[in-house]
Chains A and B, each alone.
Chain A
Amino acid sequence: MAKKSWLSMVIKNLVRDRYLYLMILPGITFFSIFSYGPMYGLLLSFKDFKFNLGIWGSPWVGMDNFQKMFDDSDFWNAFNNTIIISLGKLLFGFPFPILLAILLNELRKKYFMRFMQSVLYLPYFLSWVILAGVLLNLFSTTNGTLPKMFEAWFGIDMPQIMGNADYFRPLVFISQIWKTMGWDTIIYLAAIAGISPSLHEAAVIDGANRFQRIIHITLPSLGFLIGVLFVLNVGGVMNAGFDQIFNLYDPGVYNVGDILDTYIYRVGIASININIEYGVVVGLIKSVLNLLLLVAANSALKMFRKDSIF
């Protein structure tokens, strides 16, 4: 009897909200196929993949693929580079949007502020394919503008920047900052706009100048947001920026620039003797570490606030 009333309640709900279920059906189907579908392929981590036998039919090999990975120096190179490049981007890049947002906010002419925002947002909207072309046209030793400029104006030979292992990481850090610092000001600007004017008025009455107000009012008001964004960024450390690296690197800089994502692509898809299950294993390790970091970041944030993202 209880079961029947449960069933009739379910049916009643399904009928009442049939159009809502109809609306979420395409989206749920999409995630089922394109996000959950590939998870089946993770079985290959424990198998020796044979094309003719398929994923399920291929023989099990236990942890052999993992053992191979731990013994693979190219894997460790890509692993270390991923961490180094991610943390480098975070440490060098993180302060810029904060500083820029504070300075933008101090601009008196609002039309100039809006103009600067438009200018600063531009690279964010462009692909790394375009930006790699832009960087090549600037730095290329054969026909880049800056080397020619340095020679013509100052008589200085500029070192080779593109494809040079010594400069690859700085190039990645600086081009990343250049692309995203403007965009990342948006959230800080909104937070600054939300600071109660009465705080500033009170400080002015107490005789505080603009620098003192920035240090004692604006920055502390941003403190919470800065903390949240920093933790969220740490959660994304396994993603070192595939699009950027892939469009800027070449075999000459693998030792400093090859990251897990690019390594997985080369091992599993684009090499002469591809090793599919090996690419799957490296991808699985990356996904698992990524998951752990995100969960850690999310629980760190829960200490700050009650909302979770569900």
Chain B
Amino acid sequence: MRKKFNGGTVFDILNVVFFLLLAVVMIFPFWNILVTSLVSNDEYLSRPVILWPKEFVFNSYETIFENRLMVRSFFNSVFITVVGTIYSMLMTVMLAYGLSKDNLMWGKFFRVFVIITMYFSGGLIPYYMLIRNLELRDTIWVLILPMAINAWNYIIVRSFFRQLPEGLDEAAKIDGANDIMILFRIMLPISAPVLATFSLFYGVEYWNSWWYSLLFITDSSLFPLQYVLRELVLVNATAASKALSAGGMNMFDQGIKMATVVVATVPILCVYPFLQKYFTKGVTLGAIKE
């Protein structure tokens, strides 16, 4: 008995130590960025390693928020995320609910029609040409319309609707409600965890999207934040940050870049931990069904 107790304790301690070290590995890269965004240029240059700033300086953030392009791109991202998430959720939920009915005529055909898109696609170049032909280039809608439904999300939402008890809609039907009213008044109110999960997934997808803006947007007033961040940090760092600090602010390249990374990260950081118990269920629901 005593031996087992000791063995267990040693293991428990080692396990906690292991996870604390892992937490450092996960958090340090972000801490490093936060610190870089909060020190002055002088301190950054004079101290090789900064784990805690001697003095907190908000110059980098001031530079960002005084910059038209930056502020504009931030609000573009907010717009895309909010409008896009609502649009994607509506499209996904309606499709999933409609196709969750077993007795829908041609339902099997439409289900296969959707699933095929997960197995085969036309590829990047034909897609690019399609968007050109639809004249969606250089509109904000190119960042929203083509992202309507993620087929994988559709499958999980559909399997959620299928496992709701049958007959929920019978009484409402007798009272004269149609399927649209039933979906929005009866089904959705009891689907809060699923709605929260997939709103999070779509929201993150829209907030993080940079690829379509790289392909299809040349008008700088339409750039989302992630695209500007990419230009600033990865592509033509010096030119981009010069353009940003053209107002004559005290220039501090690395600080400005890292402050931008922080601004792009914080909204996500503020949302997902609070939805954790929902999305762990959402992911599992799909996995078990699949």
Contacts and interface: CB of A to CB of B under 8 A. Distances in A.
Chains A and B form a bound pair: yes
A108 interface: yes
* Most chain B C-beta atoms within 10 Å of own C-beta, residue among A30, A118, A279: A30
Interface stretch (A149-157, A164-172, A215-223): A149-157
A23 B183 contact: yes
Interface residues of A, number: 91
Contact of B234 (A119, A132, A210): A132
A226 interface: no
Contacts of B124: 261, 264-265, 268-269, 279, 283
B48 A152 contact: yes
B129 to A, nearest CB: 5
Interface stretch (B23-31, B56-64, B67-75, B243-251): B23-31
B4 A26 contact: no
A239 B155 CA distance: 21
A38 B124 CA distance: 9
Interface in B86-104: 90-92, 94-95, 97-99, 101, 104
Nearest to A133: B233
A117 interface: yes
Contacts of A264: 123-125
Contacts of B22: 116, 119-120
Contacts of B113: 28, 31
Interface in A237-285: 243, 247, 261, 264-265, 268-269, 276, 279-280, 283-284
Contacts of B130: 33-34, 37-38, 41
Interface in A1-35: 10, 13-14, 17, 19-24, 26-28, 30-31, 33-35
B83 to A, nearest CB: 15
Contacts of B210: 127, 129
Dominant SS at the A interface? helix
Contact of A125 (B16, B180, B258, B268): B268
Interface string B202-215: 00100011110001
B69 to A, nearest CB: 16
A294 interface: yes
Interface in B175-224: 178-180, 183, 204, 208-211, 215
A24 B283 contact: no
B75 to A, nearest CB: 18
Contact of B26 (A120, A127, A143): A120
A130 interface: yes
A20 B33 contact: no
B97 A23 contact: yes
B126 A280 contact: yes
A205 interface: no
A106 interface: yes
B89 to A, nearest CB: 12
Given A136-B234, A138-B32, A107 B148 contact: no
B139 interface: no
A203 to B, nearest CB: 13
A20 B102 CA distance: 12
Contact of B233 (A22, A27, A136): A136
Given A42-B126, A125-B268, 7 more contacts: A23-B94, A24-B94, A39-B122, A134-B30, A135-B29, A279-B124, A291-B119
**6 nearest A-B pairs in the assembled complex, by CB-CB distance:** A41-B126, A283-B123, A38-B122, A27-B95, A127-B208, A24-B98
